[in-house]
Structure 1
Amino acid sequence: MFKSLLKESLLKKIKMSLPTSNSSTILELPDGRSEKLEFTQVKATQFTVSDSDFELKSGVNVELDIHNVNLEATSKVLWPGEKVTVKGGLESHGQALKGVVNIPINKTIHDGVRGESWLYWKIETPEGVLMNDKPIHMVGEVKGLPPQDSEFRSEDVITLNNEKGEFAGTIYNCCQSN
């Protein structure tokens, strides 16, 4: 009975908003030039709790649909003074980005639990649009939803292509602080 009531309440789409965050990533171009870009959030990130799975032995997995990512940085090295923007989600790829929060059976979210997201970005630079085909896998500790006071990091080097599908650079050391 408890399991079905919990699942029923978690299955309802809960809309949430993350009003502010700061992000950074290192962008490296094919010629070897690189820059650590420091992004600020242009508009609030909207997301919904899309599904949850409760298992008596392992806990709760809360799945999230991240509807938008809107970031902006001013380049200091690659294109001094020029804007670099990042869009993700419905506005860039036409579908929500995915995230999940894993809450073990013996913890609450307020204890600090693992959160993950898989991001597809459309990066607009003065030299053109760059996109990733492989998601940026971000991992962090979450103490609530929306994930305030959390930091997420990536570990992989992600290949970027231009709009023609040609190699156009890489990004790595992605970090997001909420």
Structure 2
Amino acid sequence: MKTVSSKKNAKQVTMTLENSNSKTYLELLDGRSEELQFTQVAPTEFTVNDSEFSLKSGINVELGIKNVDLVATSSVIWPGQTIRVRGGLHGQGAAMKAQATIPFNRKMADGVQGESWLYWVIETPEGEFHNKQAIHMKGTLKGLPPKNATFYSDSVTPLFDSEDNQVGTVYGCLQSN
């Protein structure tokens, strides 16, 4: 297998995703739970980094998600209160990772597998919660920025408070761009 990469001439391209909608289920350890419907507060910026090409597997495009800023209004756990999710530089302090895999002899416009690994800071009336294990999202991309794409998670991710005590979980995450 031959891998070709142009890391010494590495360039980043910055792109912006203007709008997306997200939902997730938040369940606290005391049994309270709710489905939160999020809207995007600010455009999501991300970088497209150098790609790696393999004759066997195609092209792997690496992305850095610089920011995520979402809000929802709780109707069950904290009725009428705002829940805010921040990720990336303004969340846990570093860009989150994503990638698109374009198989050999295929174009992104045909639909290719995309994945992201999200780390969130969730601002709630009971304090800030964060995940230490990435929320792994999968979906199909037809271009960059990833418009008309839906990503989903199929795992349960623990949430922790500022003292690293587990306070709950998130699951069933879904994002539509």
Instruction: Give the TM-score normalised by structure 2.
Output: 0.95
Unaligned stretches of 5+ residues in structure 1: none
Matches within 5 A, 1:27-106: 27-106=26-105
Measured in 2, the distance between the counterparts of 1:125 and 1:150 equals: 28
Distance 1:71 1:133, change over 3 A: same
1:12 match: 11
Give the CA RMSD over aligned residues: 1.8
Distance 1:29 1:5, change over 3 A: closer
Measured in 1, the distance between the counterparts of 2:32 and 2:14 equals: 40
1:21 match: 20
Deviation at 1:12? 1.8
Measured in 1, the distance between the counterparts of 2:4 and 2:60 equals: 16
Matches within 5 A, 1:129-148: 129-148=128-147
Deviation at 1:11? 3.8
Q: Which runs of 4 or more aligned residues in structure 1 lie more than 6 Å from their structure 2 counterparts after TM superposition?
A: 3-6
Measured in 2, the distance between the counterparts of 1:137 and 1:4 equals: 26
2:127 match: 128
One-letter amino acid of the counterpart of residue 27, structure 1: L
1:98-120 Cα offsets, whole Å, 9 max, x none, are: 00000001210000000000000
One-letter amino acid of the counterpart of residue 65, structure 1: G
Deviation at 1:6? 8.5
One-letter amino acid of the counterpart of residue 78, structure 2: W
Measured in 1, the distance between the counterparts of 2:62 and 2:88 equals: 15
One-letter amino acid of the counterpart of residue 147, structure 2: Q
- Residue 152 (1) aligns with residue 151 (2): yes
CA contact 1:11–1:52 (8 Å) conserved in 2: no
Distance 1:5 1:53, change over 3 A: closer
CA contact 1:84–1:125 (8 Å) conserved in 2: yes
